[in-house]
Amino acid sequence: MVKAGDKLMNHEIDDVDYVLHSSMSYEMYQRLMRIRNHDLHKFIAWVIDLCKPSSVFISTGSPEDLGYIRRRAIETGEEIPLKTPGHTVHFDSPFDQARAREDTAILLPGSQRLPFIRTKDRDEGLREMFSLLSGVMKGREMLVGFYSLGPKGSPFSILAVQVTDSYYVMHSENILYRPAYDEFVRQGERVRFLRFIHSQGELNEMGQSRNIKQRRIYIDLPGETVYSVNTQYGGNSIGLKKLALRLTIKRAMEEGWLSEHMFIIGVEGPGGRATYFTGAFPSMSGKTSTAMLGRLIGDDLAFLRNINGEVRAVNPEAGVFGIIEGINLIDDPLIYEVLTKPGEVIFSNVLITEDGDVYWNGKGEPVPERGINYTGKWWKGKTDDKGNPIPPSHPNARFTVSLKAFRNLDPRYDDPNGVVVGGLIFGGRDPDTWVPVFESFNWDHGVVTIAASIESERTAAVIGKTGEREFNPMANLDFLSVDLGIYITNYLKFGENLKNPPRIFGVNYFLRDEQGRFLNSKEDKRVWLQWMERRIHNEVGAVKTPIGYVPRYEDLRRLFHNVLGRDYGLEDYNRQFAIRVGRLLNKIERVWKIYSEVSTTPRKLFEVLEEQRQRLIEAGRLYGDPIPPLKFEY
Ligand code: SPV
Ligand code: MN
């Protein structure tokens, strides 16, 4: 067992130069030395000393270096090339197909605890981690990559270093993030950077992490370091994605901005104008499909800052790690095109067909008879140990691709000043409570009753049973690294200093009737987006209800005609937009209870919830339950 002394904990090591010199080629050493930052040198030497790689590759992000990583990913079998040029497939272990909540923890000193967040004693966690990482890279090459979260040279952006022994992980990051070796060289001693250390650990004969029981993902806030071991699934291994989010949320709290689990899109309104929205949805709840309806800036993460009284946003990422299940030519033509044309795409956990192509669940083609998937050889009717059918691809199978591959990319996706945000959208899988689209009365009301109150049925993006209703404020709960009450307080404060705060909207694509049938079709969200776009420009009125502003029937009827070319019946409107008083009151009760157990919850939250409760009770007394929206028009 490695002893975790202070030196080890603080990434300190003697003989930095000797370690660096003796563990890598002169060429690699020079690449590292070109960055004049002693902290960085110390850190790299420290990881080498701990993980004992047999060689080290320092990536400058040049086309040759990117090509080297792509080639090695194939040579080592981490990725399998397909017949379409640029396409490869990576397989994770059957037990490593999604984010592993149980194995992920924020390290905190002593017995500190945070509500809803898995925490672990820092000393204990680091000791365990160092022992798992000790010598883990023997016989392997250690890869070091430099990236910028956000456009290079932007006031929003944060630099990061990834160390990994997986070519697949680095290949993914080369697609998903902006290479920034030159930025490190330019900033030298001034660089403050996030640190990510990953090892896939021992592999089985299929090249999958074998020691899943020892899978650990530990987030060390003071050192701005995340450790990840014995896992390959992107959400656990790609440091700059959800692991970095824990660190950037912490920084955002300290500096008064927002680091969010949100897409950023431009929605085209009349005359071709673009109005920018961010959108937060729990994974697999319509986020990507909504993002694709606009001009794309980002599909998953956003940094939001108050710049001169306006909210501006940038995407820390430069690519998409998206869910592939159900993507087909009819419903998602833009993504389908990207996934079927030649170009750099990493598929993960899909089926490789006999002719070297890919198949995924819901591709809109006949299911192949056989192929290869994450369980090895696959055939129609294959079952697991418990006799459950194994589908061709995993429900959380993914694709990794550059944003530049998308035809609907917004021209301002790399703007260092970001785009002005007109509206924030929040949604979840809610069968019976929220209406399909509505707008809050103001910032605080939206933050509290919409964003901080999201509940959603669990999906396959997380290991565990699907379908259960889970509380998921801002769709960001899985990634919180700070106390929930403080996170909410920061959100409310952020709104105080805005000259023209963005509107806050709630959406719900999953409303069902008593028989479990969806009340809306998939394409209805196009109409909701157009309604929100018009609201921001004060071009449509609304019905004032106890939960906020709801669309007027005549506006929706017009929009359904213009956007989808179809009728929208009054009956549908009344059913979809009914105010479900009892259910809404129950929801307030659930949310109230949760926050009342968080000691740092701002008083404002309870005030806003209480006002909403009173409005609902009063409306119920006057009009019963549910209340057709027309009742509120007078
Ligand atoms: C999500 O599950 O929210 C994702 C993929 O975007 S992951 O990287 O696993 O978080
Ligand atoms: Mn996500």
| Residue 26 burial (C-beta neighbours within 10 Å; 0-12, 13-18, 19+) | exposed
Q: How far apart are CA 224 and CA 411, in angstroms?
A: 33
Q: Which of 300, 323, 349, 394 to mutate to test the pocket of ligand 1 (most atoms within 8 A of CB)?
A: 300
Ligand nearest 242 Cα, by number?
Answer: 1
User: What is the helix (H) or strand (E) element at residue 67, kind and residue range?
Assistant: helix 63-75
Look at residues 295, 289, 511, 525 and name the one whose alpha carbon lies nearest to residue 403: 295
Ligand nearest 92 Cα, by number?
Answer: 1
Q: What is the 3-state secondary structure (H, E, C) of 177-244?
A: CEECHHHHHHHHHHCCEEEEEEECCCECCCCCECCHHHCEEEEECCCCEEEEECCCCHHHHCHHHHHH
**Per-residue pLDDT reduced to its tens digit, 205-220:** 899 999 999 999 999 9
**Per-residue pLDDT reduced to its tens digit, 391-443:** 999 999 999 999 999 999 999 999 999 999 999 999 999 999 999 999 999 99
Residue type at 308 in one-letter notation: N
Q: How far apart are CA 44 and CA 35, in angstroms?
A: 12
Q: Which of 101, 321, 325, 474 to mutate to test the pocket of ligand 1 (most atoms within 8 A of CB)?
A: 321
User: What is the helix (H) or strand (E) element at residue 492, kind and residue range?
Assistant: helix 484-496
CB 401 within 8 A of CB 175: yes
User: What's the CA-to-centroid distance between 301 and ligand 1, angstroms?
Assistant: 10
| Pocket around ligand 1 at a 6 A CB cut-off | 99, 234-235, 241-242, 283, 300, 321, 461
**Per-residue pLDDT reduced to its tens digit, 173-227:** 999 999 999 999 999 999 999 999 999 999 998 999 999 999 999 999 999 999 9
**Which residues are CB-neighbours of 185 under 8 A, at least 6 positions away?**
34, 35, 36
Ligand 1 atom 10: the closest Cα is on which residue?
Answer: 235
CB 528 within 8 A of CB 439: no
**Which residues are CB-neighbours of 253 under 8 A, at least 6 positions away?**
482, 486, 487, 490
Average pLDDT of the residues in 551-562: 98
Q: How far apart are CA 462 and CA 42, in angstroms?
A: 36
φ, ψ (nearest 5 deg) of residue 559? -65, -40
At residue 2, the pLDDT reads: 47
How crowded is residue 621: how many other Cβ atoms within 10 Å of its Cβ? 10
37 alpha-carbon distance from chain centroid? 31
pLDDT at 14 over 90: no
Average pLDDT of the residues in 240-252: 98
Average pLDDT of the residues in 604-609: 98
Q: How far apart are CA 64 and CA 358, in angstroms?
A: 28
Q: Which atom of ligand 1 is nearest to the CA of 283?
A: 3
At residue 595, the pLDDT reads: 98
Provide the pLDDT confidence category of residue 1 given band limits of 50, 70 and 90: very low
| Residues in the chain, overall count | 634
User: What's the CA-to-centroid distance between 482 and ligand 2, angstroms?
Assistant: 18
Ligand 1 atom 1: the closest Cα is on which residue?
Answer: 283
User: What's the CA-to-centroid distance between 486 and ligand 2, angstroms?
Assistant: 22
User: What's the CA-to-centroid distance between 148 and ligand 1, angstroms?
Assistant: 19
CB 97 within 8 A of CB 349: yes
Q: Is the peptide bond before 626 cis (omega within 30 degrees of 0)?
A: yes
CB 369 within 8 A of CB 110: no
For the whole model, what pTM was predicted? 0.96
Provide the pLDDT confidence category of residue 568 given band limits of 50, 70 and 90: very high
As a 3-state breakdown, the chain gives helix, strand, coil percent values, each rounded to 5, of 35, 25, 40
Ligand 1 atom 4: the closest Cα is on which residue?
Answer: 283
Q: Which of 96, 99, 176, 463 to mutate to test the pocket of ligand 1 (most atoms within 8 A of CB)?
A: 99
**Sign (positive or negative) of CA dihedral 234, 239, 241, 245:** positive
User: What's the CA-to-centroid distance between 300 and ligand 2, angstroms?
Assistant: 5
Q: How far apart are CA 555 and CA 572, in angstroms?
A: 14
Q: Which atom of ligand 1 is nearest to the CA of 99?
A: 9
Q: How far apart are CA 598 and CA 103, in angstroms?
A: 23
Q: How far apart are CA 2 and CA 95, in angstroms?
A: 28
Provide the pLDDT confidence category of residue 10 given band limits of 50, 70 and 90: confident
**Per-residue pLDDT reduced to its tens digit, 445-496:** 999 999 999 999 877 767 776 677 899 999 999 999 999 999 999 999 999 9
Exposed e or buried b for every residue in 118-154, given b needs 16+ CB within 10 A? ebbbbeebbbbbbbbbeebbeebbbbbbbbbbbbbeb
pLDDT at 542 over 90: yes
Exposed e or buried b for every residue in 235-245, given b needs 16+ CB within 10 A? bbbbbbbbbbb
CA count, 13 A, side-chain hemisphere, 177: 28
CB 337 within 8 A of CB 406: no
Ligand 1 atom 3: the closest Cα is on which residue?
Answer: 283
Q: Which atom of ligand 1 is nearest to the CA of 241?
A: 8
How crowded is residue 7: how many other Cβ atoms within 10 Å of its Cβ? 12
3-state secondary structure of 367: coil
Q: Which atom of ligand 1 is nearest to the CA of 300?
A: 6
**Per-residue pLDDT reduced to its tens digit, 51-98:** 999 999 999 999 999 999 999 999 999 999 999 999 999 999 999 999
138 alpha-carbon distance from chain centroid? 32
More confident residue, 9 or 570: 570
Ligand 1 atom 5: the closest Cα is on which residue?
Answer: 235
User: What's the CA-to-centroid distance between 242 and ligand 1, angstroms?
Assistant: 7
User: What's the CA-to-centroid distance between 283 and ligand 1, angstroms?
Assistant: 6
**Per-residue pLDDT reduced to its tens digit, 609-624:** 999 999 999 999 999 9
Ligand nearest 284 Cα, by number?
Answer: 1
Q: Which of 175, 238, 242 to mutate to test the pocket of ligand 1 (most atoms within 8 A of CB)?
A: 242
**Sign (positive or negative) of CA dihedral 625, 631, 633, 634:** negative
Strands 274-280 and 419-427: parallel
**Which residues are CB-neighbours of 210 under 8 A, at least 6 positions away?**
93, 201, 202, 203, 204, 230
Strands 225-229 and 55-58: unpaired
User: What's the CA-to-centroid distance between 239 and ligand 1, angstroms?
Assistant: 12
Angle 161-162-165 (CA atoms, 0-180°, nearest 5)?
Answer: 150
User: What is the helix (H) or strand (E) element at residue 386, kind and residue range?
Assistant: none
Average pLDDT of the residues in 591-608: 97
Ligand 1 atom 7: the closest Cα is on which residue?
Answer: 235
Look at residues 260, 231, 256, 262 and name the one whose alpha carbon lies nearest to residue 244: 260
Q: How far apart are CA 367 and CA 369, in angstroms?
A: 7
Residue type at 103 in one-letter notation: D
Beta bridge partners of 544: 549
Supply 343's token pair. 């170009």
**Per-residue pLDDT reduced to its tens digit, 310-323:** 999 999 999 999 99
Q: How far apart are CA 16 and CA 4, in angstroms?
A: 19
Ligand nearest 234 Cα, by number?
Answer: 1
φ, ψ (nearest 5 deg) of residue 441? -70, -35
Residue type at 57 in one-letter notation: F
**Sign (positive or negative) of CA dihedral 496, 264, 350, 333:** positive
pLDDT at 633 over 80: no
Q: How far apart are CA 436 and CA 206, in angstroms?
A: 45
Provide the pLDDT confidence category of residue 6 given band limits of 50, 70 and 90: confident
**Per-residue pLDDT reduced to its tens digit, 491-540:** 999 999 999 999 999 999 999 998 989 999 999 999 999 999 999 999 99
Ligand nearest 283 Cα, by number?
Answer: 1
Query: What average pLDDT is seen over the chain?
Result: 96
At residue 529, the pLDDT reads: 98
Of all residues in the chain, what percent carry a pLDDT higher than 70? 98
pLDDT at 164 over 80: yes
Provide the pLDDT confidence category of residue 8 given band limits of 50, 70 and 90: confident
Q: How far apart are CA 429 and CA 507, in angstroms?
A: 10
Look at residues 185, 159, 180 and name the one whose alpha carbon lies nearest to residue 62: 180
Average pLDDT of the residues in 568-587: 97
How crowded is residue 192: how many other Cβ atoms within 10 Å of its Cβ? 11
State the catalytic residues: 285
φ, ψ (nearest 5 deg) of residue 188? 50, -125
Instruction: State the DSSP code for 108.
Output: E
3-state secondary structure of 120: strand
Ligand 1 atom 8: the closest Cα is on which residue?
Answer: 235
pLDDT at 15 over 50: yes
